[in-house]
């Protein structure tokens, strides 16, 4: 239920008292001296002050409930935020305008005249062109004079957060994981030594006798062996650079965030084992579903980084201690870092992890290469990401 109205600020601004005093001096001095040019402005300011004070008298009685059809939406989508405003007073109120803070800005909501107990539902436009976490509300009303000398602000309702997450794309997440893992998933690749049973086949010279399935061999009258398939478990660690000096332009960072979110969603759908390391700290997203991942992708921001705490190297250093079981590490950054820089950073990663680096620069051509154990891709659009991953062997 919406909260009762709450007065936010003193009705008279501090500077208004000085303005009122000056206007009274001008009015009195002009009257005593017979100087109408001095008295007129003083009287006008005093009249505005009095009119604002009179108009601010009273206590508007509203109940405001804010709801959203979707609390998380992609860029450009409509979250469907509506405000239900009810006249909770005993008297009819005339048409007026409420103000709703939406993120850093505000939107106006026009209300018709409402009888006691009557309510109206109105849509609230929410800008979703860019990813962000937007706080909508509480609803406010300001009563006073046009100059703002006297202004009483009242607030109703509980604010709600709308998460606008970045655009994502479906990407392949490969089976670069630990082989012979009882918790892993079958890859479809035959194996003689893994733990995932697949089928039986005839014995061939050289087969390991421990693979013979004796019960089936006795029933069929010939030796049969177990044919297993490779099972691997993928634990992905996504390392995101948030240092402004590692990106050529802020738009490149937006591309990097979309790439990071796409990789994370694909991994959560595949196995749910995901760790995100940004700003040098671990984000506990593993097995928590896509919600926390999208929330973080909506809120993450670039930072000036003189200390290096937001750099990709800091995230890689944290990965060894925070995600020691990672079998696949994806480094997401801009194009300022060179191949040599990325190769050096890869040495900080967990020893067992396969590594790939995704460098983002809007408009760049797609390139794929390999430096030792590090797969390196440069993308200039989000649509490049699936192709780059396939060419690196993640399919």
The overall average pLDDT reported for the chain is: 80
Rounded to 5 degrees, φ, ψ at 81 are: -80, 130
What's the distance, CA 171 to chain centroid?
Answer: 19
Residue carrying the six token digits 């634990």: 235
What share of the chain in percent tops pLDDT 70? 73
CA-nearest of 120, 126, 200, 152 to 53 is 152
Pairwise CA distance, residues 254 & 283, whole Å: 19
CATH of domain 236-391: 3.40.50
Q: Is 330 helix (H, G, I), strand (E, B) or coil?
A: strand
Residue 284 confidence (pLDDT): 65
Q: Band of the pLDDT at 300, cuts 50, 70, 90?
A: very high
Domain boundary assignment for the chain: 10-55, 62-165, 190-231, 236-391
pTM of the model: 0.72
Q: Is 263 helix (H, G, I), strand (E, B) or coil?
A: helix
Pairwise CA distance, residues 383 & 381, whole Å: 5
Q: Band of the pLDDT at 38, cuts 50, 70, 90?
A: low
Residue 155 confidence (pLDDT): 83
Pairwise CA distance, residues 196 & 228, whole Å: 5
Q: Is 273 helix (H, G, I), strand (E, B) or coil?
A: coil
Class of domain 62-165: mainly beta
SS3 labels along 171-210: CCCCCCCEECCCCCEEEEEEECCCCEEEEEEECCCCCCHH
Residue carrying the six token digits 């106006």: 108
**Residues in CB range of 378: below 8 A, 6 or more apart:** 335, 359, 360, 361, 364, 365, 366, 367, 368, 388
Pairwise CA distance, residues 302 & 295, whole Å: 16
- Strand 72-74 vs strand 6-7: parallel, antiparallel, or unpaired? unpaired
Residue-wise pLDDT for 119-138, tens only, equals 999 999 999 999 999 999 89
Is pLDDT larger for residue 96 or for residue 103? 103
Pairwise CA distance, residues 161 & 323, whole Å: 30
Residue carrying the six token digits 């035959």: 190
Residue carrying the six token digits 């490969």: 174
Q: Which residues lie across from 274 on neighbouring strands?
A: 236
Residue-wise pLDDT for 350-364, tens only, equals 777 889 999 999 999
- Strand 374-379 vs strand 354-360: parallel, antiparallel, or unpaired? parallel
Pairwise CA distance, residues 311 & 302, whole Å: 10
């Amino acid at each position: 239920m919406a909260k009762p109205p709450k007065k936010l600020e003193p009705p008279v601004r501090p500077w208004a008292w000085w303005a009122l005093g000056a206007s009274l001096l001008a009015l009195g001095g002009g009257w005593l001296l017979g100087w109408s040019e001095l008295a007129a402005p003083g009287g006008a300011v005093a009249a505005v002050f009095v009119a604002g004070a009179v108009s601010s008298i009273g206590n508007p009685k509203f109940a405001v409930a804010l709801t959203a059809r979707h609390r998380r939406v992609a860029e450009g989508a409509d979250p469907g935020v509506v405000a239900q405003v009810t006249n909770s007073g005993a008297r009819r109120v005339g048409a007026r305008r409420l103000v709703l803070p939406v993120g850093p800005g505000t939107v106006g909501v026009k209300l018709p005249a409402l009888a006691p107990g009557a309510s109206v539902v109105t849509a609230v436009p929410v800008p979703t062109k860019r990813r962000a976490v937007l706080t909508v509300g509480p609803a406010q009303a300001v009563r006073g004079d046009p100059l703002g000398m006297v202004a009483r602000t009242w607030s109703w309702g509980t604010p709600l957060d709308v998460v606008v997450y970045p655009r994502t794309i479906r990407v392949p997440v490969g089976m670069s994981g630990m082989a012979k893992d009882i918790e892993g998933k079958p890859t479809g690749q035959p194996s003689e030594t893994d733990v995932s049973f697949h089928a039986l086949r005839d014995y061939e010279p050289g087969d390991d006798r421990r693979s013979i399935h004796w019960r089936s061999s006795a029933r069929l009258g010939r030796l049969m062996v177990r044919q297993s398939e490779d099972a691997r478990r993928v634990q992905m660690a996504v390392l995101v650079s948030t240092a402004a000096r590692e990106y050529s332009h802020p738009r490149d960072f937006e591309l990097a965030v979309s790439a990071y979110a796409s990789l994370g969603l694909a991994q959560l759908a595949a196995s749910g084992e995901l760790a995100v390391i940004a700003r040098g700290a671990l984000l506990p997203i593993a097995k928590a579903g896509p919600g926390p991942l999208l929330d973080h992708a909506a809120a993450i921001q670039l930072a000036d980084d003189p200390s290096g705490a937001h750099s990709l190297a800091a995230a890689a250093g944290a990965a060894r201690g925070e995600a020691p079981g990672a079998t696949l590490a994806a480094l997401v950054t801009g194009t300022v870092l060179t191949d040599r820089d990325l190769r050096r950073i890869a040495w900080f990663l967990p020893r067992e992890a396969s590594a790939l680096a995704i460098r983002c620069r809007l408009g760049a051509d797609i390139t794929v290469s390999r430096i030792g154990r590090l797969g390196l891709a440069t993308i200039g659009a989000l649509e490049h990401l699936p192709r780059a991953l396939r060419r690196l062997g993640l399919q």
